[in-house]
Structure 1
Amino acid sequence: MSIRKFHRLSACVLAAYILLHLVNHLMAIAGAHAHIAFMEATRPLYRHAVVEPVLLACVLFQCGSGIWMVLRGWKKRCGFVAWLQAGSGIYLALFLLFHVGAVLFGRAALKLDTNFYYAAAGFVLMPYELLFAPYYFFAVYALFTHLGCAAYWQAEAHSPMVRRLAIGVPAGVGLVVALLINLALAGMLHPLDIPAKYLTIYR
Structure 2
Amino acid sequence: MSIRKAHRLSACVLAAYLLLHLGNHLVAVAGAHAHIAFMEAIRPLYRHAVVEPVLLACVLFQCGSGTWMVRQKWKKRSGLVAWLQAGSGIYLALFLLFHVGAVLFGRAALKLDTNFYYAAAGFVRMPYALFFAPYYFLSVCALFTHLGCAIYWQVQARSLTVRRLALGIPAGVGLLAALLIDLAFAGMLHPLDIPAPYLTIYQ
TM-score (norm 1): 1.00
CA offset at residue 166 of structure 1? 0.3
CA offset at residue 132 of structure 1? 0.2
Aligned residues: 203
Gap regions ≥5 residues in structure 1: none
CA–CA separation in structure 2 for the residues paired with 1:119 and 1:126: 14
Provide the residue aligned with 2:12 in structure 1.
12
Output aligned runs, 1:148-167, within 5 Å.
148-167=148-167
CA–CA separation in structure 1 for the residues paired with 2:20 and 2:150: 20
Provide the residue aligned with 2:200 in structure 1.
200
CA–CA separation in structure 1 for the residues paired with 2:68 and 2:112: 34
Output aligned runs, 1:81-96, within 5 Å.
81-96=81-96
CA–CA separation in structure 2 for the residues paired with 1:110 and 1:68: 33
Output aligned runs, 1:35-54, within 5 Å.
35-54=35-54
Give the superposed CA RMSD: 0.3
Output aligned runs, 1:115-194, within 5 Å.
115-194=115-194
Counting aligned pairs with the same residue, the percent is 84
Gap regions ≥5 residues in structure 2: none
CA–CA separation in structure 1 for the residues paired with 2:201 and 2:125: 11
Name the aligned partner's letter for residue 105 of structure 2.
F
CA offset at residue 129 of structure 1? 0.2
Provide the residue aligned with 1:108 in structure 2.
108
CA offset at residue 76 of structure 1? 0.5
CA offset at residue 109 of structure 1? 0.3
Provide the residue aligned with 1:60 in structure 2.
60
Deviating 4+ runs (over 6 angstroms): none
Deviation string 1:119-163 (CA, Å, 9 cap, x unpaired) is: 000000100000000000000000000000001000101000000
CA offset at residue 71 of structure 1? 0.7
